[in-house]
Structure 1
Amino acid sequence: MTVTPPARTSRPAAAPRPRIPAAVAAGALPALSFPQPALWWLTYGALVPWILLVRSAPSARRAALEGWLGGAGFLLAVHHWLLPSLHIFILVLAALLGLLWVPWGLLVHRLLGGDPGPGRTAVALLVVPAGWLLAELVRSWEYLGGPWGLLGASQWQVPAALRLASLGGVWLVGLLLVAVNTALAALVSAPRARRAAGAGLLVCAAVTAGAWWWAPVPRAAGTVRVAVVQPGVMPGGDRGLRRFDREEALTRGLAGRRVDLVVWGESSVGTDLGRDAAVRGRLAALSRAVGADLLVNVDARRSDRPGIFKSSVLVGPDGPTGDRYDKMRLVPFGEYVPARSLLGWATSVGKAAGEDRGRGERQVVMRPRSGSGSGSGSGHGGGPRVGPLICFESAFPDMSRHLARSGAQLIVAQSSTSTFQHSWAPEQHASLAALRAAETWRPVVHATLTGVSAAADARGRTIGRWAGTGASAAVVYDVPLAEGTSPYARLGDWALYGALATLLLYVLLTLRRPVPPAR
């Protein structure tokens, strides 16, 4: 008797589980390009594993999933230092914001999936970077967390990238970085399109070289001496009082050093100067002793307006000069809770703000009225015209650009990272000074209460040495001023608008004549 073996049934597709952690890990890889690791060179290939994974997805639905998971992994890695404050809520935020990379995943799969030819690869070199920029743009909205960890910001210490930033801001740098990664991924995975991928790499190199050789540079306009007072972490009780005493002592030590401006960090004064005459008098006495105005930062309930405000206040020999800037863009959950009626429960699982801070209404350019230093670039014998930013406002390109266009000669960012002192946050925050300086052709001084203080000249080059997280000192920087208006300050976000126009054109052409699906 002949026994007929049972017919073989087709095996079910392999479970996709290994691809899920791979997508999260691939998305997290670019975070190593930022300080502290500062592996800036990694950025030029860090997206390749993620792109290769998404392009090989068996379906568009799976590609969208892996774009989402990679985006969540990237945001978790870049913002991991928020975990002690937000706890499990950071996972919810990363999952929600990671959805912004779903369209990017679909674009990668559609244009690079299968065996793309030269034409489809050439389109990918334009559209895939534009799709990435769209995700960065949306998540840069202040109510979604702001532009912390933009890919282009990882190149803050690369002179050629800083020159590109002076032309098109951090957006242009990010576009070229994603284009390079896209070309490398095509070079590895698309045999029929290697010439197109190679040509794309050459174009990126040519654009960078052209910017390096022919982009305009700022003109020197004298030097100003700026002192940064960083008291450092104050353990134990009565930290506010002891911190003020330490700041006062460090500032008095600047007498005779011929400084033009003294800058204290964020939340350096914990009482309203309109109400506290004693503190007001102590600050005025410090200004007289040093021979320069003080730019302090008040974090207190106002006497003239309801609510708590964080404010940059200029204090001269006779007290506050009247120049005041109230912080406009607040840190979500750290300084206010979005939709508090719905998300107020976040205060019970983390260190979210128990009371929303007040918001300022406009940016301010201040004119210090004193200054005993060289002041050779200030124009009127005092300090330079100063444009203050507070905390993570230095991450917003449009704010520093607006200050430059409004006449600021020096941009000062006042910050504090006491909650995140032993994380990657202080170094990453300080690195933004170089990027904002290169974009605007205005030197930037990053002054911290705790964290890392730094300064950068108008080309984004670091001045002197950073004052690290363990420093408790007054550091003096001889800051070169500059004249002229950078192309980015003059033209604005043209690279971003160009990317959005490219995406719109691609969508319209696709709707009119769909691109064949990946084979």
Structure 2
Amino acid sequence: MPPAAATGTVARPAGRPGSTPAAGSRRRWPWRPLLAAVGGLLLLLAFPGYGLAALAPLGPAALALAVRGQRARSGAWLGLVLGLAFFVPLLSWTGVYVGPVPWLALAVAQALFVALLGAAAAATSRLPGWPLWAAALWVAAEALRGRLPFGGFPWGRLGLSQTDGPLLSLAAYGGVPLVSFAVALTGTLLAAALGALHRARRATRPRGPVLRTAALAGAAVLAVPLAGGLAWLPLPGPSLTAGGPTATVAVVQGNVPRAGLDFNAQRRAVLDNHVSRTLELAAAVEAGEQPQPDVVLWPENSSDIDPYTNADAARQIERAAEAVGVPILVGAVVEGPGRFISNTAIVWDPEDGPGRTYVKRHPVPFGEYIPHRDLFRLFSDKVDLVRRDFAAGDAVGVLDIGGVRIGDLICFEVVYDGLVHDVVRGGAGMVVVQTNNATFGFTDESEQQLAASRLRAVEFGRTVVVAATSGISAIVAPDGSLARRSELFTPALFVEDVAQRDSTTLAERLGAAPEGALAAVGVGALLVVAVPGAARRRRARRGRA
């Protein structure tokens, strides 16, 4: 049989040199990479800063359609395109003061994990039930990049786009991984429905089976958010005071003189700002304008002057604590151990002075310490902006302060599932996030970080209190809604009664099990394809030998 007949094409006589090609031989548009790029941009629009959460499933849908039926190598390229279209703008705040090299390096590193996802999704795209395997592979890819390299960077996970809407409720049952899975599954089912409709339109044979497939996939698309809506029914509502004994909590946002990398040069002014706001709180309490708090929360870096070694800084903090009459949780940079410094939360009592501490367990690579400094200096001298490396703490951030048992997290620690789980399992009645976002200016970083706090509130059924140096400070109710919030680079003060809860959610009890199970499903589907394929290649090599 002639080759043309074997492939179902019709042989055409060759045209004369220089003649116009026939219509059937026109080059096809590169719709797959274009679709992947559009999918990345649509996914970006779902995240804080844009806030169109309903668009999030369109990212997984676009990738699923783009890689459907492709080889793994093509899938990797398409995944990389989507990853770059998403991460380059999402992480632009990382380069606002240090230039494009660190920003683009981080974005490319994160996009490479989406390239792996694209390869795996392409490889499994011919399996029956492929929308399920593709959604599980999203969870597996997010689990991997949340751990590698240098402890990972789980920013921009699908679940963190869902600060509103029905899918947010699923955080209480399986944490961020379950929410990510629901977003991805909605998208892959949508892709399956669209693909079936496209096949039905082109089919010459009876279209009934294909249309039934499209209808079933479309119904499943609607079933996922419906399940999320029903999952809200047993969960806590927006009340800050229901569910346990209350404590009065004050949050102080002192602000900084100016945004930028010279934040540390302003450290005395920043400390003075937080002292002044606390003295104003004390005066308002004495005048009956504010209730007496049980605890006052200052943010990360509220004292970048070590109060253990600087007597003047210690006197200022002591002055504030004595005026307000209750312990203050101070975010300080402390000398030691050895050549290191430590990002430390200190419980400062008005009578006893500094007491228990929590040292940040997950310092940020390239932000708070430089791994392999000599190597990375070859790419950018910006690494030397981090003059001294921060040490990592080894104790869980559960602190008793003013009769309140809090779970303390410092800045980016709020996006690491295990760190948040540890403080809640340690008995925290509320979660506190101390953060300093001054070095990111007027960008979307603060909104993106706040989204993680909102999801954690639902995940663990706890109020989450965010104390930021320059914003956004917030009090997040157990249903993820915002009871109070500040604006960027504006002094702020909140005083609220907050219930100290001891209830447990399914997500707390299961821990990392949902992520592990979903990732295993995706990897298992990949092995179903990869193992026989490898065996066939070995047999082919032996046959040629």
Length, aligned pairs only: 488
Equivalent position of 2:491 in the other structure? 472
Superposition CA RMSD, Å: 2.9
Equivalent position of 2:308 in the other structure? 274
Q: How far does the alpha carbon of each residue in 1:282-332 deviate from its partner, in whole angstroms, 9 at most, with x for none?
A: 222321211211001112423x64321110011001353421111111122
Equivalent position of 2:253 in the other structure? 230
Give 1:189-338 correspondences, 5 Å limit: 189-191=195-197, 192=210, 193-214=213-234, 220-235=243-258, 239-255=266-282, 256=285, 257=290, 258-302=292-336, 305-338=338-371
Equivalent position of 1:379 in the other structure? none
Q: Check whether the contact 1:145–1:331 (CA below 8 A) recurs between aligned residues.
A: no
Equivalent position of 1:44 in the other structure? 57
Q: Residues 457 and 145 from structure 1, CA distance in 2 versus in 1: closer, same or farther, beyond 3 angstroms?
A: same
**Which runs of no fewer than 5 residues in structure 2 stay unpaired?**
1-13, 198-209, 534-545
Distance, in Å, in 2 between the alignment partners of 1:70 and 1:144 is: 24
Q: Check whether the contact 2:377–2:383 (CA below 8 A) recurs between aligned residues.
A: no
Q: Check whether the contact 2:252–2:492 (CA below 8 A) recurs between aligned residues.
A: yes
Q: Check whether the contact 1:325–1:364 (CA below 8 A) recurs between aligned residues.
A: yes
Shift of 1:363: 1.4
Q: Find the residue that maps to 1:234 and give its secondary structure.
A: coil
Q: Residues 501 and 20 from structure 1, CA distance in 2 versus in 1: closer, same or farther, beyond 3 angstroms?
A: closer
**Which runs of no fewer than 5 residues in structure 1 stay unpaired?**
114-118, 370-381, 515-519
Distance, in Å, in 1 between the alignment partners of 2:236 and 2:250 is: 30
Q: Does residue 1:182 correspond to 2:188, yes or no? A: yes
Q: Does residue 1:431 correspond to 2:451, yes or no? A: yes
Pairing partner for 2:88 from 58, 76, 86: 76
Distance, in Å, in 1 between the alignment partners of 2:102 and 2:29 is: 27
Q: Find the residue that maps to 1:322 and give its secondary structure.
A: strand
Q: Check whether the contact 2:302–2:331 (CA below 8 A) recurs between aligned residues.
A: yes
Distance, in Å, in 2 between the alignment partners of 1:253 and 1:346 is: 47
Q: Residues 187 and 87 from structure 1, CA distance in 2 versus in 1: closer, same or farther, beyond 3 angstroms?
A: same
Q: How far does the alpha carbon of each residue in 1:448-471 deviate from its partner, in whole angstroms, 9 at most, with x for none?
A: 01121011123323223x101032
Distance, in Å, in 1 between the alignment partners of 2:217 and 2:123 is: 17
TM-score by length of 1: 0.86
Q: Does residue 1:147 correspond to 2:180, yes or no? A: no
Pairing partner for 1:487 from 494, 506, 509: 506
Distance, in Å, in 1 between the alignment partners of 2:236 and 2:430 is: 20
Q: How far does the alpha carbon of each residue in 1:144-173 deviate from its partner, in whole angstroms, 9 at most, with x for none?
A: 652112110111233x33321011001111
Shift of 1:225: 1.8
Q: How far does the alpha carbon of each residue in 1:231-278 deviate from its partner, in whole angstroms, 9 at most, with x for none?
A: 223139962222222211110111123011111111111222221233
Equivalent position of 1:376 in the other structure? none
Q: Residues 21 and 190 from structure 1, CA distance in 2 versus in 1: closer, same or farther, beyond 3 angstroms?
A: closer
Equivalent position of 1:517 in the other structure? none
Q: Check whether the contact 1:71–1:101 (CA below 8 A) recurs between aligned residues.
A: yes
Q: Does residue 1:446 correspond to 2:473, yes or no? A: no
Equivalent position of 2:536 in the other structure? none
> Over alpha carbons, which structure has the higher Rg?
2
Q: Check whether the contact 2:120–2:526 (CA below 8 A) recurs between aligned residues.
A: no
Distance, in Å, in 1 between the alignment partners of 2:31 and 2:382 is: 31
TM-score by length of 2: 0.82
Q: Check whether the contact 2:463–2:478 (CA below 8 A) recurs between aligned residues.
A: yes
Equivalent position of 1:501 in the other structure? 520
Q: How far does the alpha carbon of each residue in 1:355-414 deviate from its partner, in whole angstroms, 9 at most, with x for none?
A: 321111121311114xxxxxxxxxxxx3x1012111101111221111011111121111
